[in-house]
Amino acid sequence: MEIPEDFPYREVLMRGRPEHGDDGFLLEHPRMERERRAKLFAPFDALDGYGDALRTKNAVYVDKIRLSPDQQAALDRDLGRLCALYGQRGRLREGGGGLPWVRITRYVVCSDRYHDACGLRGSYVTAEGRLTGADPEVSRTLRVEGEVIPIGDIVRIRILEHGPRGKRPPR
């Protein structure tokens, strides 16, 4: 790394670490591993949450894809089939034993007010699990394992035969 000539502490940086020869300093004060040294200063971190902010700032957001008429028709068919399955099984068994297992991909608009994409772009999120609710008429939402998903944000629905790790969901 090249240090600019006009850098105020250039001389100090160029000197490097102090050298201790036979003065006994290193015997009394052995060098600490970097991880342990970092832990000493962690409570004094003035920028609490800075790492999280950087991660969200570096998130990549995209524009929502426009579905073709054929893709939209297929999505509507899958939604109708899913709601029919929910109507047949969801109300019949308490505890949701007969509820369909689904994987739903939806578009979520960026809500980080500090990001440039806030309200303009978003990302695709996938939810997988039992369909625990379906209201295509009034609230226009589906619920997968309690997570509410607006129908207008859905771009893909897959009705799965098997649950996690290839296990068939209980009927």
Nearest to 129 by CA among 120, 110, 142: 142
Domain locations in the chain as residue ranges: 10-57, 69-166
Give me the long-range contacts of 78-84 (CB less than 8 A, separation at least 24): 78/157, 78/158, 78/159, 79/136, 79/151, 79/154, 79/157, 81/159, 82/131, 82/134, 82/142, 82/157, 82/159, 83/134, 83/136
The chain-wide mean pLDDT, for the chain, equals 79
Q: What is the pLDDT confidence band of residue 90, given thresholds at 50, 70 and 90?
A: very low
H helices of the chain, in order, are: 10-15, 25-28, 34-41, 50-57, 69-85
Q: What is the pLDDT confidence band of residue 81, given thresholds at 50, 70 and 90?
A: confident
pLDDT in tens, 94-118: 444 567 889 999 999 988 877 778 8
